[in-house]
Amino acid sequence: MSIASTIVDQLGGHGRLRAMVGADYFLELSSGVSFTFKNRHASKGSHVTVSLRSDDTYDMDFYRITGALVKRYEGVYADRLVEIFEAQTGLYLRL
């Protein structure tokens, strides 16, 4: 299983991401995954990149559609990925 697949599964899977936040354009990176999502609040981001670090934690970078960095989270544990995504974007991945 690739790193990108593992991260997507930890966020709830492709189907849930598409259904809950309109995630699209998934891109597998060498150490992570990147995808866009629909968000009316551009100031909170509409694109995220999640990268695995050497200490088995993740970096999460949220961007505007223009490519400007909105917020960076470093050293995020896998069990906090959903929590941080929801807090940053205001969108929910679970009902």
Give the C-alpha separation, 39 to 43, whole Å: 9
In this prediction, residue 95 has a pLDDT band, given cuts at 50, 70 and 90, of confident
Domains: count for the chain: 1
- Inform me whether the pLDDT recorded for 15 exceeds 90: yes
Give the range of the structural domain holding residue 49, as residue numbers without chain letter.
3-89
Q: For residue 41, what pLDDT is reported? A: 84
Q: Is residue 65 part of a domain?
A: yes
> What pLDDT was estimated at residue 1?
67
pLDDT digits (tens, 9 = 90+) for 47-94: 999 999 999 999 999 999 888 999 999 999 999 999 999 999 999 998
Instruction: Please count the other Cβ atoms lying within 10 Å of the Cβ belonging to residue 79.
Output: 8
Please indicate, yes or no, if residue 94 is contained in any of the structural domains: no
Residue 43 pLDDT more than 90? no
Q: Locate 74 and state its tokens.
A: 């470093």
Q: Which helix (H) or strand (E) holds 4?
A: helix 3-10
Q: Do 72 and 59 form a contact (C-beta atoms < 8 A)?
A: yes
Please indicate, yes or no, if residue 18 is contained in any of the structural domains.
yes
